[in-house]
Amino acid sequence: MTVRADIDIVVDRPLDPARPVSVLLWDADGVIQHPRHEWAPKLDAWGGPGFAEAVFAAEVPALRGEAPFHDILAGVLDDWPEATASVGDLLELWEQVDGDEEAVRFVQEVAASGVTCVLATNQQDHRKAYLRRVFGYDAVFARSFYSCDMGARKPELAYFERVLEALDVPAEQVGFVDDVEANVEAARQLGIRAVHHDPTSGVAGLRTVLGWPA
């Protein structure tokens, strides 16, 4: 039985050999890298119930580049004097991520075919610097669009509008893969050929959802 989701995948697959895109946007977390563990329990262990929620909410302006993440975290700790973590402890938590070497090799494989591969990720300034330094994404991707540099974050339409403007490529020639469905739906609103990736499916699932030939 064919369901709507199956139809969407067939129609939207950015790397379908019959009509591949010229540019493919890749999300980072959940696609080419993966957090080592759930961060919320660790945060709440440091600050008590609600501390994780407060930290994640406070990160949003930093994801848009409105303030340095270090300064935002210092403000959160001022509001939670009972917390046992330091700013350094909190920043280190955002560094606890593992790169997916197989996924990166797949990116390089796609790029070698002539498709321009671009990183499109929500990151604040500290984590952006960490990813560039540790994982060397500048050498993997032709361009990178970190939300902290764009003044907007996924799934805000402004993020994708600014990416399209910078690329100067028609939306129908741009593909996008992300593990967050809200981000995929936002990109589709602008005509980007976006697909959802389930991180548990691994690189095999990534190849399938993108339409890359076996």
At residue 122, the pLDDT reads 98
Which pTM value belongs to this model?
Answer: 0.93
**Whether 179 and 157 share a structural domain:** yes
Q: Is the pLDDT of residue 194 over 60?
A: yes
Residue 194: which H helix or E strand, with range?
Answer: strand 193-196
Boundary of a domain, candidates 47, 76, 93: 93
* CA dihedral sign, ordered 12, 13, 15, 17: negative
Last residue of a domain, one of 48, 73, 93: 93
Residue 133's domain comprises 4-34+99-210
Residues 26 and 64 in one domain: no
12, 114: one domain: yes
Same domain (yes/no): 66, 141 = no
Q: Are 61 and 156 part of one and the same domain?
A: no
Q: Are residues 156 and 110 in the same domain?
A: yes
pLDDT at 2 over 80: no
CB 187 within 8 A of CB 176: yes
Do 62 and 89 lie in one domain? The reply is: yes
Domains of the chain: total: 2
CA dihedral 196, 111, 156, 146 (to 10 degrees): 130
Query: Do 30 and 43 fall within a single domain?
Result: no
Percent of the chain with pLDDT over 90: 91
Find the distance separating the first CA and the last CA of the chain, reported in whole Å.
23
Verify that 122 and 72 share a domain, yes or no: no
Distances from the Cα of 15 to the Cαs of 23, 29, 107, in angstroms? 10, 21, 12
Is a pLDDT exceeding 70 seen at residue 11?
A: no
**Same domain membership, residue 206 and residue 173:** yes
| 70 exposure class (CB count in 10 Å sphere: 0-12, 13-18, 19+) | middle
The CA-based dihedral angle spanning residues 39, 123, 27, 149, taken in that order and rounded to the nearest 10 degrees? 170
Domain harbouring 104, CATH code: 3.40.50.1000
Select from 93, 124, 139 the last residue of a domain.
93
Are 82 and 138 in the same domain? no
| pLDDT value at residue 107 | 98
Residues 106-159 have pLDDT tens digits of 999 999 999 999 999 999 999 999 999 999 999 999 999 999 999 999 999 999
Local structure of 115: helix, strand or coil? coil
Q: Name, in order, each residue with C-beta under 8 angstroms of 81's C-beta and a sequence gap of 6 or more.
A: none
Residues 143 and 198 in one domain: yes
**Predicted local distance difference test score (pLDDT) of residue 159:** 98
Q: What stretches of 115-180 adopt beta strand conformation (E)?
A: 116-121, 143-146, 174-178
157-167 and 181-189 are packed helices; what angle lies between their axes, rounded to 10 degrees? 60
